[in-house]
Amino acid sequence: MSNMAGIKKTNAMRMLDSAGIDYEVQEYEFDENDLDGHHVADYLHIPYEEVFKTIVAKADSGYVVFCLSVDDELDLKKAARLAGVKRVELIHVKELLPLTGYIRGGCSPIGMKKRFPTYIDEMILLVDRVCVSAGQRGLQLRLAPEDLINYTEAITGDITV
């Protein structure tokens, strides 16, 4: 684990700790008006394909979570196909906090209020380490892709444009 001095543990960190999963915490400066994942990758000097964003969507079966590289765009048709549903639509940003416990720019696939079916773009299988939000703006978790996939019980597949 990286230097945790002064960093308050997030729910996502506590859950990984209790599961015995190794991770690093990386801090970055953020701008309220620029919550783009490219900024996170650039600030931390990490290739875009190793920094994954978390997108919450609504399907006919309920809510679903998608994770993909910050450099990619979610293909709603491919996402629905992988999730085994007719269609998925992105939720409105105001629904995010009550639903997940996280705010935009700080939504982690780990530690949401409820566990939702999770789908991760297959490109995750090509990287050694992956970064996802630690559950608050300014903090990223860096961990092994297999650990993220196993912990979230995710299904991997092609979900990008």
Break the chain into its structural domains and give their ranges.
25-157
In CATH terms, the fold of domain 25-157 is YbaK protein (3.90.960)
Residue numbers in the chain where pLDDT is lower than 50: 1-3
Report d(CA 27, CA 48) in Å as an integer.
16
Query: What was the pLDDT predicted at 4?
Result: 59
- Taking CA atoms, 57 is separated from 24, 44, 67, 160, in Å, by 28, 28, 11, 14
Report d(CA 42, CA 37) in Å as an integer.
9
The whole model's pTM is what?
0.93
